[in-house]
Amino acid sequence: MSNSKMIGKAIATGICFGILASFNASPGPASAAEPTIGEVAAPAASNIDQQLLGQWQGTVPSGQSFTFVFAPEGKLFLMAKGPDGAARAKEMRYKVNLGQQPMHLDVGLSSTETVETIFELTPEGQMRLQLQGTNPGQARPNSLNEQATVFKKVSEATALPADTQVIGY
């Protein structure tokens, strides 16, 4: 199956719709001024906030693999290969509400679109995130289901690779 068809299938799986669709936008290279943020010090944060920082890799049911990079200051990047094979990242914002069970995660796709979803960190150090059935403007799911995407933390790094093309917020 071609890379563009796999991305198309991933697009149909909820939150990835707006994010992966934007990989066809005109990206710019990562710059030192913004979003390569590896050197930025994080403000005081909870233990969960600290556990989230870094790179988390997951695969949606269509088989498309991608990486979320949770960075300081509420920045979030979705990294995947574009149709041309180049590494691309969509810049977003995130906010966590730890007072709810399961924990709430709000993902700002743009200044006008937010996806409300839920997640949990497992005892095995993985993250279960409800992507299926989440879209901007829809109500937050009440519980994680069997279709929740499981992410494995693959790195503590919060900086994007230097050659990553970034699609802005």
Is residue 2 very low, low, confident or very high in pLDDT (cuts 50, 70, 90)? very low
pLDDT for the residue numbered 65: 86
What distance in Å separates the CA atoms of residue 158 and residue 70, rounded to the nearest whole number? 6
The pLDDT score that the predictor gives to residue 141 is: 95
| pLDDT digits 0-9 by tens, 67-110 | 999 999 999 999 988 788 888 999 999 999 988 899 999 999 99
d(CA 12, CA 16): 7
